[in-house]
Amino acid sequence: MRHFATDGFELHGDFLPDGINLSINRVYSTVKHVEAFISFLINHVDSSIKRIEALIKFVQSLQDEIQAKGRFFLAIGLFAGCALRA
Protein backbone atom coordinates (compact mmCIF):
# COMPACT_ATOMS: atom_id res chain seq x y z
CA MET A 1 0.00 0.00 0.00
CA ARG A 2 1.36 3.45 -0.92
CA HIS A 3 1.23 5.98 1.83
CA PHE A 4 1.27 9.78 1.39
CA ALA A 5 1.88 11.77 4.55
CA THR A 6 0.79 15.39 4.66
CA ASP A 7 0.60 17.94 7.46
CA GLY A 8 -2.89 17.29 8.74
CA PHE A 9 -4.07 14.06 7.18
CA GLU A 10 -2.93 10.98 5.28
CA LEU A 11 -3.76 9.80 1.80
CA HIS A 12 -3.67 6.06 1.15
CA GLY A 13 -3.19 5.37 -2.53
CA ASP A 14 -4.26 1.74 -3.09
CA PHE A 15 -7.61 2.72 -4.51
CA LEU A 16 -6.32 5.49 -6.79
CA PRO A 17 -4.28 5.26 -9.99
CA ASP A 18 -0.74 6.72 -9.86
CA GLY A 19 -1.64 9.83 -11.86
CA ILE A 20 -4.40 10.80 -9.46
CA ASN A 21 -2.15 10.28 -6.44
CA LEU A 22 0.45 12.58 -7.97
CA SER A 23 -2.24 15.13 -8.79
CA ILE A 24 -3.53 15.10 -5.22
CA ASN A 25 -0.03 15.64 -3.87
CA ARG A 26 0.62 18.46 -6.35
CA VAL A 27 -2.64 20.17 -5.42
CA TYR A 28 -1.81 19.81 -1.73
CA SER A 29 1.69 21.19 -2.31
CA THR A 30 0.29 24.11 -4.32
CA VAL A 31 -2.26 24.88 -1.60
CA LYS A 32 0.53 24.92 0.99
CA HIS A 33 2.58 27.31 -1.17
CA VAL A 34 -0.43 29.60 -1.67
CA GLU A 35 -1.14 29.50 2.06
CA ALA A 36 2.47 30.48 2.84
CA PHE A 37 2.33 33.30 0.28
CA ILE A 38 -0.93 34.66 1.69
CA SER A 39 0.55 34.52 5.20
CA PHE A 40 3.59 36.46 3.95
CA LEU A 41 1.33 39.09 2.34
CA ILE A 42 -0.74 39.47 5.50
CA ASN A 43 2.39 39.97 7.61
CA HIS A 44 3.83 42.45 5.09
CA VAL A 45 0.59 44.46 4.94
CA ASP A 46 0.30 44.37 8.74
CA SER A 47 3.81 45.76 9.20
CA SER A 48 3.10 48.43 6.56
CA ILE A 49 -0.06 49.46 8.39
CA LYS A 50 1.90 49.77 11.64
CA ARG A 51 4.47 51.99 9.92
CA ILE A 52 1.73 54.19 8.49
CA GLU A 53 0.08 54.46 11.92
CA ALA A 54 3.42 55.51 13.44
CA LEU A 55 3.86 58.12 10.70
CA ILE A 56 0.35 59.48 11.32
CA LYS A 57 1.09 59.79 15.06
CA PHE A 58 4.35 61.62 14.27
CA VAL A 59 2.58 64.07 11.94
CA GLN A 60 -0.13 64.65 14.55
CA SER A 61 2.51 65.42 17.19
CA LEU A 62 4.13 67.89 14.78
CA GLN A 63 0.76 69.53 14.20
CA ASP A 64 0.20 69.83 17.95
CA GLU A 65 3.66 71.36 18.41
CA ILE A 66 3.12 73.82 15.56
CA GLN A 67 -0.27 74.84 16.97
CA ALA A 68 1.24 75.34 20.44
CA LYS A 69 4.05 77.50 19.03
CA GLY A 70 1.53 79.38 16.91
CA ARG A 71 -0.52 80.22 20.00
CA PHE A 72 2.63 81.31 21.81
CA PHE A 73 3.65 83.68 19.02
CA LEU A 74 0.08 84.94 18.71
CA ALA A 75 0.09 85.77 22.41
CA ILE A 76 3.44 87.56 22.06
CA GLY A 77 2.09 89.49 19.08
CA LEU A 78 -1.02 90.53 20.97
CA PHE A 79 1.04 91.55 23.97
CA ALA A 80 3.45 93.52 21.78
CA GLY A 81 0.53 95.15 19.98
CA CYS A 82 -1.04 96.18 23.24
CA ALA A 83 2.32 97.46 24.51
CA LEU A 84 2.81 99.57 21.38
CA ARG A 85 -0.65 101.12 21.72
CA ALA A 86 -0.10 102.12 25.29
Tell me which amino acid residue 60 is: Q
Q: Mean of the pLDDT values across residues 5-24?
A: 58
pLDDT at 1 over 50: no
pLDDT at 9 over 60: no
Q: How far is CA 52 from CA 13, 22, 36, 59, 83, in A?
A: 50, 45, 24, 10, 46
22 versus 69: the higher-pLDDT residue is 69
Full-model pTM: 0.50
Asked if residues 11 and 2 have their Cβ atoms less than 8 Å apart, the reply is no
Render pLDDT for 15-68 as a digit per residue (tens, 0 to 9). 555 666 667 778 888 899 999 999 999 999 999 999 999 999 999 998 888 888
What is the pLDDT at residue 11? Answer: 54
